[in-house]
Amino acid sequence: MKFTQAPLAGLWIIDPQILQDHRGYFYESFSLRKLKNATGVEPVFVQDNQSRSYHGVMRGLHFQRGEHAQAKLVRVISGVVQDVVVDIRPESPTFGKSFSIVLSDENKLQLYVPRGFAHGFLVLSEIAEFFYKCDNFYAPTHESGLFFDDPKCEINWMLNRRDMIISDKDLHLRHLADLEL
């Protein structure tokens, strides 16, 4: 596994080693020992989530507040997505900055997202199955989100807004300046 520090502190791109032959492929998708040795982080994942979405579906930008915040390890099982995070840690020098990466079943890249980030993704393929591990349980009373198209976050979405399928809930999320953290 190769671990690369992304431009926002605490955010890591994980590129697994793929063993491939005439039978198919194999790779280690997670190793706590390797993650800790390479990054210094040692999350204890307590919940796995998976979603299936269609082309143009934009989910996010979601997070949980306070003691219910979650670190996540995200990847795509099938399809292609634009994965996006925004640093919402008020004390961070990169507060309000975004980072975007294409995750797919072909590149098998993963993203480790620490607590204190809003997270979302946009489906670029016909269908995508998205999988992520969380280090804290889902807490609906502490759920929140950041409006996906807040100009202060400077996210360059890979589809036009008119081609996106967005839930009513996500269309009414707050802007960065109005977040309750």
Catalytic positions are 62, 132
What tokens does 135 get?
């280090």
**Residue 123 contacts residue 53 (beta carbons within 8 Å):** yes
